[in-house]
């Protein structure tokens, strides 16, 4: 685990507005402004950044909150972890969230996913319909957990697969203070 102090200052609403010009280069972005406003912007769907009300949202290989069963399942698992998060140390919370992100239980049947993927997804639907996808040549290669506390302290942890080998992972952690 490594720890670095970074200083990040930007107005995310302005940044996301500039991304409209580069729409085809991004699958999805989420930004905050002054710590209490969150926007979503993607290269499909709404042409402008979308203001998000407080709540739990899910993002998979489609638009924000696509009604896939695996996305709804992931949101429920996330909500359950968050309900119990006050009793966990920070590292234990990160590990619970990484465990959630590596859940391979398929959420089937899922007509919405089958319809969107058509014949391409059917041969490996039982793996694709899980939060963590493990298929030859395709699947989950990284997990990212970002924790922000009430004082603006951020812990960014990323677990990355090495050499396309599901038995080899590198975990990096960075910590910094939001500048508001």
- Consecutive sets of 10 residues in the chain, 180 residues long: mean pLDDT of each? 48 68 61 64 78 89 90 97 94 96 95 81 86 89 93 94 93 89
Same domain, 86 and 172: yes
Spell out the residues 6+ positions from residue 68 whose beta carbon is closer than 8 angstroms to its own: 60, 62, 107, 110, 112, 113, 129
Same domain, 16 and 76: no
d(CA 174, CA 164): 23
Same domain, 45 and 63: no
How many structural domains are present in the chain? 2
Q: In this structure, are residues 81 and 103 in contact, taking their beta carbons and an 8 Å threshold?
A: no
Spell out the residues 6+ positions from residue 9 whose beta carbon is closer than 8 angstroms to its own: 179
């Amino acid at each position: 685990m490594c720890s670095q102090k970074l200083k990040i200052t930007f107005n995310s609403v302005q940044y996301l507005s500039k991304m409209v010009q580069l729409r085809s280069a991004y699958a999805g972005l989420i930004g905050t402004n002054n710590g209490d406003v969150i926007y979503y912007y993607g290269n499909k769907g709404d042409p402008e950044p979308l203001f998000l009300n407080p709540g739990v949202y899910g993002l998979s290989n489609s638009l924000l909150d696509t009604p896939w069963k695996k996305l709804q399942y992931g949101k429920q698992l996330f909500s359950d972890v968050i309900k119990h998060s006050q009793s966990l140390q920070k590292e234990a919370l990160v590990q619970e969230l990484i465990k959630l992100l590596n859940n391979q239980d398929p959420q089937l049947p899922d007509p919405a996913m089958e319809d969107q993927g058509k014949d391409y997804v059917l041969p490996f639907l039982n793996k694709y319909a899980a939060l963590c996808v493990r298929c030859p040549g395709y699947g989950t290669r990284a997990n990212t957990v970002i924790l922000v506390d009430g004082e603006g302290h951020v812990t960014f942890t990323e677990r990355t697969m090495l050499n396309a080998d599901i038995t080899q992972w590198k975990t990096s952690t960075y910590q910094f203070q939001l500048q508001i």
